[in-house]
Chains A and B, each alone.
Chain A
Amino acid sequence: MQAFHPKTLDEALAAAADGATPLAGGTDLMVEVNFGKRRPEMVVGLRRIAELREWERSRIGSGVTWRRVERDGPRAYAQAARTVGSPQIRNAATIGGNLGTASPAGDGHPFLAAVDASIEIASTSGRRLVPWYEFFTGPKQNALQPGELITAVVLPERLPERHEFGKVGVRNAMVISTVCCVVTRDTEGSTTVALGSVGPTPIRVPAAEEMISAEPSPSDSALGEFARLVSEGVRPITDHRSTEEYRRHAAGVLARRLLERCLA
């Protein structure tokens, strides 16, 4: 195996163009290696590239770890970060790696979907900015082409006034989401809701958003209707972690609870 440890993005992109497997925190790739599912011939380690660790206001470098997001991120993104893996995982794992893996259960994804973030991607031939809904293309699939690396997450300049993250799982720590969710609410009532683990990619629920955005101070029955529309709008499956029915139910309960926190 060949291993590169570049200090600049240009060197890393050159290695990626030659077919090297990108390695950030290693917390996903090494699980596959340890279980014999992958054996890369050429690897490019990204953690020495200072540019990828830069965080300037709304542009967060892909090499920023979940530990840093937990400490310095916007409220709901920090809340999500705190539930990613364990301290050991958060110290190593990066936001770029989370996007590269593109798991339907990725805890970082609902925030990006809820605030309409974009993902910056680079290759030796240039950079492009991909909106989140074009980036996630299926379970563990994304819009990356061979030779491309994820360089940053770009948030909107202004975030909604309130935003809250929540997650349902079978224990408190070190758990993969059964459902995870972000609800945002802005001053004039405009609301978004994004969920993970309840579809092939992170999803928004436009019907629920439109209904509740028209309610300046939602009544109990309006909150109930919001929860019902979220449950109706998600696309969960039954797998080893939960059932379709439970996920549908939990999605509505969780979204309503987060909306109530935004309204409090």
Chain B
Amino acid sequence: MIVEFRLNGEDVNARVVGPTSLLDVLRDELGLFGSKSACAQGECGSCSVVLDGEVVCSCLVMAADAEGSEVTTVEGLSTDGLNPIQEAMLRSGAVQCGFCTPGIVVAATELFRVNPSPTRIEIKEALAGNICRCTGYGAIIRALESLSGGEQ
């Protein structure tokens, strides 16, 4: 079946076989490898995308159900180089192996869009669905705190 949706601001058609996930279609059909495939059960957050305005795990979105939706992946967060979240993470050494980084960038970008001055607790809660197996959480949280004017 062919599924039509908006991806990073452009209309796309994707060939979808059976109940496959949006993540697999993004990677295997549309060639966007920023969203990572790891746990396949919504635990790790490395496949995070924005679907109709909400951060979700794309491994748990049935691609067929993305029909007519608006999807933003890590590739679509900025049209002009890195966004401020990505800059801050680079500055603070918040990237180790990098596998969790796209998911964290998506979740954090959405956090700051909704709440421009999150507290440390709010940052930690917003990233509760993103696992970093290098356990680089300290640097990740410090990177995001550096962007927040909120009370710490």
Interface membership of A237, Cβ < 8 A: no
In contact, B64 and A88 (Cβ under 8 angstroms): no
**Looking across the interface, which residue of chain B has its beta carbon closest to that of A47?**
B65
> Of the candidates B60, B67, B131, which one forms a contact with A26 in the assembled complex, judged by CB atoms under 8 Å apart?
B60
Tell whether, in the assembled complex, residue A87 and residue B62 are in contact, meaning their CB atoms are under 8 Å apart: no
Knowing A88-B45, A88-B56, A91-B56 touch, does A174 contact B62 (C-beta < 8 A)?
no
Q: Do B62 and A86 touch across chains, with their CB atoms under 8 A apart? A: no
Among A27-35, A99-107, A123-131, the one that faces the other chain is A27-35
Check A30–B62 contact: CB distance below 8 A.
Answer: yes
Contact between chains at A23 and B41 (CB < 8 Å): no
| A241 CB-CB contact with B under 8 Å | no
Contact A88 B42, CB 8 Å, known A1-B18, A31-B60: yes
Binary interface encoding of chain A residues 147-173 relative to chain B, with 1 for a CB under 8 A from any of its CBs, else 0: 000000000000000000000000011
Residue of B nearest to A173 (CB): B128
Number of residues from B at the complex interface, CB < 8 A = 31
When distances are taken between beta carbons in the complex, the residues of chain A under 8 Å from B130 are 86
Question: When the two chains form their complex, are residues B129 and A87 in contact, meaning their CB atoms are under 8 A apart?
Answer: yes
Q: Does B40 contact A (CB under 8 A)?
A: yes
Nearest CB of A to B23, in Å: 9
Q: Which residues of A contact B1 (CB under 8 A)?
A: 1, 3
Task: Find the residue from B59, B64, B65 having the highest chain A CB count within 10 A.
Answer: B65
User: 19 more A-B contacts (CB under 8 A) besides A30-B62, A45-B65, A87-B126?
Assistant: A1-B18, A26-B60, A26-B61, A30-B61, A31-B40, A31-B41, A38-B19, A43-B19, A45-B67, A65-B54, A88-B42, A88-B56, A89-B42, A91-B56, A92-B56, A92-B60, A173-B128, A173-B129, A174-B128
Residues of B contacting A38 with CB < 8 Å?
19
Is A40 part of the binding interface, using a Cβ–Cβ cutoff of 8 Å? yes
Chain A residue at minimum C-beta to C-beta distance from B45: A88
Whether A235 is near chain B, meaning CB under 8 Å from some CB there, is: no
Assembled-state Cα–Cα distance A91/B55 (Å): 7
State how many angstroms separate the Cβ of B147 from the closest Cβ of chain A: 18
A85 touches B42 (CB 8 A): yes
Do the beta carbons of B41 and A34 come within 8 Å of each other? yes
B35 interface residue per 8 A CB criterion: no
Residue interface mask B75-99, A partner, CB < 8 A = 1: 0000000000000000000000000
In angstroms, Cα B45 to Cα A14, docked, is: 35
A-B interface pairs (CB < 8 A), number: 103
- Is the beta-carbon distance between A88 and B48 smaller than 8 angstroms? yes
- How many Å lie between the Cα of A88 and that of B54 in the bound state? 8
**Contact of B125 (CB < 8 Å), options: A5, A34, A87:** A87
The interface bits of chain B over 47-79 (1 if a CB of A lies within 8 angstroms of the residue's CB, else 0) are 010010011110111101101100000000000
Q: Is B62 in contact with A29, judged by CB distance below 8 angstroms?
A: yes
How many Å lie between the Cα of A201 and that of B7 in the bound state? Answer: 41
Interface residue ranges of B26-56 to A (CB < 8 Å): 40-43, 45, 48, 51, 54-56
Bound-complex Cα distance A89 to B56 (A): 6
Chain B residues contacting A204 (CB-CB under 8 Å) are none
Q: How far is the CA of A23 from the CA of B68 in the complex (A)?
A: 16
Nearest B residue to A3 by beta-carbon distance?
A: B64
Cross-chain contact of B57 among A1, A45, A88, A173 (Cβ < 8 A): A88
Across the interface, which residues of A come within 8 angstroms of B48, CB to CB? 88
Q: Which B104-119 residues have C-beta < 8 A from chain A?
A: 107
User: Are the C-beta atoms of B129 and A92 separated by less than 8 Å?
Assistant: no
Q: Which residues of chain A (167-185) have a CB below 8 Å from chain B?
A: 172-174
